[in-house]
Copies of this chain bind each other. A is one copy, B any other.
Amino acid sequence: MARPQEFDTNEALHQAMDVFWQKGYEATSLSDLLKAMGLSKSSLYAAFGGKRDLFVAAFDAYRKDRVVEMRQILGQPNAREAITQFFRKIVNDTGNASSRGCMSINQAVEMAPRDPEVRSRVLEDFQLMEDALTATIEHGQSNGSITSNEDPRQLACALVLAFPGLQVMTRAGADQKRLDEALNRLLASLD
């Protein structure tokens, strides 16, 4: 019988995720990870391989959480309200020094250019968001909460294009009022 693992893998992955999300891949040291996860070096290597493998697993844990959250928010009965809430959540993250933005956007910048496994995940995330927003817009147009009669996928693509801007400006600490204005203009495309 295998010796039972003495820690919760999922919890440890989320602890690693928090560090990578905040600091990025390169700026995260092994000692940052050991401290956050409360593990010895040998336990970390035995359970997750090296830093790069742990990073990919932590990124996947992040992506899984975000997809669940996205489907929950966008699944609300009122589609206009659902999309507003989805984007409002980004912008409300501002105003504190620890705004982390979206890990997938951060990784589009940091690792995607040189790591094909990260790159394919990032591109898949853009596609997932486009598909989910398209379905929500279709739903809103059919029940009247979205009054624009533009093509749902075209509207969704314009929202996806603006997503990194909101995330990046939030992470860089842009003024809350400016972000709110940008968001309101963006959402007006649904009316």
Interface residues of A (CB under 8 A from B): 22-24, 26-27, 97-101, 105-106, 108-110, 112-114, 119, 122-123, 126, 154, 157-158, 160-169, 171-174, 178, 181-182, 185-186
Contact = CB atoms under 8 A, between A and B. Distances in A.
Contact of A123 (B163, B164, B166, B174): B174
Nearest to A113: B171
Contact of A110 (B97, B109, B162): B109
A108 B101 CA distance: 10
Contacts of A168: 105, 108-109, 164, 168
Contacts of A174: 123, 126
B171 A108 contact: yes
Nearest to A121: B172
A101 B174 CA distance: 20
A62 to B, nearest CB: 15
Given A24-B26, A123-B172, A157-B182, A109 B109 contact: yes
A169 B173 contact: no
Given A161-B182, A164-B168, A100 B126 contact: no
What 4 pairs between A and B have smallest CB-CB spacing? A26-B26, A108-B172, A112-B172, A161-B165
Contacts of A26: 24, 26-27
A113 B126 CA distance: 23
B109 A97 contact: no
Contact of A109 (B106, B126, B178, B185): B106
